[in-house]
Copies of this chain bind each other. A is one copy, B any other.
Amino acid sequence: MTGNTPDGPTAPSLDAGSRRSSPATLEDVARAAGVSLATASRSLNGSSRTVNAAYRSKVLDAAARLNYSPNLSAQAVARGSTMTVALVVADITDPYFSSIAAGVVAEADQGRLIVTMAATERDSERELEIVRTLRGQRPKVIILAGSRREGDPSEEALRRELEDYERAGGRVVLISRNELGFRTVQIDNASGAADLATALVGLGYRRFSVLTGNRELKTAADRLDGFTSGLERAGIRVEADRVVQSAFTRDGGYEGMRSLIAAGVQADEVVFAVNDVMAVGALSALRDAGLTPGADVAVAGFDDIPTVQDVWPTLTTVNVPLVEVGRAALRLALEETDASVSADSDASTAPGSPVATSVVVRDSTPRRA
């Protein structure tokens, strides 16, 4: 069976040793092609230098034959820079973050970039720690999504860390939070929430409650503020005791709704949860309390994550093109690779125009008679 009768052209590589064959190196390729290491290198990577066509194809052949694949680590060491983009999110299972991640990954492989991923579990100490260990990777880009709160004790340390990183040539992009003074993909949280408020008023609602995350969470605060100011424009105020804070998660929404219910819900009110996962939790809380969301109390969210079209009632929300946000983040990081001609130092900090949001009215906020 294991005889070595040449199997004809069917067996392309001579029966390779099946024991620990390490990958071919560039030197192997060069030797096989009968050229120098330099020539091999120049033909295989996108060097600016040009190479004699005959040599080049000999190299390409050899590389294919040996199944050569350049060692990215070695390239990184030699070039002094990697092709890595590091993405750090709060929680991968949260649709908000997984959508953003999908966008980053999609954009990345249109540029032969590798994306690495880490999760903070919503702990800003941990976030700082992660960013610190990220330095070892020497990523070309660091994208930070969520989980930062204002006035956080580790805030300053994080900023310093990121500044050092940029000073070393890295690019950092923040998603929906620019307090730190870096490139940012802004999401128009405030005006999206204001638009939602206006739409709800237009549907006939006059009483409002809101389920918000920790107030220090910039995103949560902006959405709350936008919502209340949208209502103010219609001459409506939301009672202070109808604003409840809880975790920025599904369970947070559930708990928040429970306390709202405990305090007494009005038949004609709508509760605005500052994000969809919270809203979805709120729907369940209502149901578990024997109430019918939509009919008994209206609910609205923010983000337009995929699942809100499959809950019942389908959720009125504010659409945020999350996948696009992820792509935009990476594009923003990569643009103008050498900041040579920035007019003033603030230019590189300019957030650019925020990504647009739009209200989507569904069944959870039926028009009031």
Query: Residues on A close to B: CB < 8 A?
Result: 18-23, 67, 69-74, 76-77, 82, 84, 91-93, 95, 98-99, 101-102, 105-106, 109, 112, 114-119, 130, 132-133, 135-138, 164, 167-169, 250, 280-281, 283-284, 287, 306-307, 309-312, 323
Q: Note all chain B residues with C-beta closer than 8 A to A91.
A: 102
Query: Cα distance A168–B22 when bound, in Å?
Result: 5
Taking the nearest CB of chain B, how far is it from the CB of A175, in angstroms? 16
Indicate if the CB atoms of B115 and A23 lie closer than 8 Å.
Answer: no
Indicate if the CB atoms of A72 and B117 lie closer than 8 Å.
Answer: no
Indicate if the CB atoms of A67 and B164 lie closer than 8 Å.
Answer: yes
Q: Note all chain B residues with C-beta closer than 8 A to A138.
A: 23, 71-73
Indicate if the CB atoms of B77 and A74 lie closer than 8 Å.
Answer: yes
Query: Cα distance A312–B288 when bound, in Å?
Result: 11
Known contacts A116-B114, A312-B311, A102 near B92 by CB under 8 Å: yes
Instruction: Kindly report how many copies of this chain are found in the complex they form together.
Output: 2
Q: Note all chain B residues with C-beta closer than 8 A to A72.
A: 73, 136-138
Taking the nearest CB of chain B, how far is it from the CB of A233, in angstroms? 32
Q: Note all chain B residues with C-beta closer than 8 A to A117.
A: 101, 105, 115-117
Query: Cα distance A311–B112 when bound, in Å?
Result: 39
A71-B77, A280-B307 given; name 13 further pairs at CB < 8 Å.
Answer: A21-B167, A23-B168, A70-B136, A72-B136, A72-B138, A74-B77, A91-B102, A93-B98, A95-B95, A98-B98, A105-B119, A284-B310, A312-B312
Indicate if the CB atoms of B168 and A20 lie closer than 8 Å.
Answer: yes
Q: Note all chain B residues with C-beta closer than 8 A to A250.
A: 306, 310
Query: Cα distance A310–B280 when bound, in Å?
Result: 6
Q: Note all chain B residues with C-beta closer than 8 A to A95.
A: 93, 95, 98
Query: Cα distance A106–B92 when bound, in Å?
Result: 10
Q: Note all chain B residues with C-beta closer than 8 A to A23.
A: 135, 138, 168
Taking the nearest CB of chain B, how far is it from the CB of A267, in angstroms? 20
Taking the nearest CB of chain B, how far is it from the CB of A159, in angstroms? 14
Which of B18, B20, B118 contacts A105, CB < 8 Å? Answer: B118
Which of B73, B105, B312 contacts A92, CB < 8 Å? Answer: B105
Query: Cα distance A118–B115 when bound, in Å?
Result: 8
Query: Cα distance A118–B281 when bound, in Å?
Result: 30
Query: Cα distance A245–B312 when bound, in Å?
Result: 26
Q: Closest B-chain residue to A126, C-beta based?
A: B109
Q: Closest B-chain residue to A16, C-beta based?
A: B167
Q: Note all chain B residues with C-beta closer than 8 A to A130.
A: 109
Query: Cα distance A82–B116 when bound, in Å?
Result: 14
Indicate if the CB atoms of A167 and B71 lie closer than 8 Å.
Answer: no
Q: Closest B-chain residue to A74, C-beta based?
A: B77
Indicate if the CB atoms of A22 and B169 lie closer than 8 Å.
Answer: yes
Query: Cα distance A306–B283 when bound, in Å?
Result: 14
Q: Note all chain B residues with C-beta closer than 8 A to A119.
A: 102, 105-106
Q: Note all chain B residues with C-beta closer than 8 A to A310.
A: 250, 280-281, 283-284, 307, 311
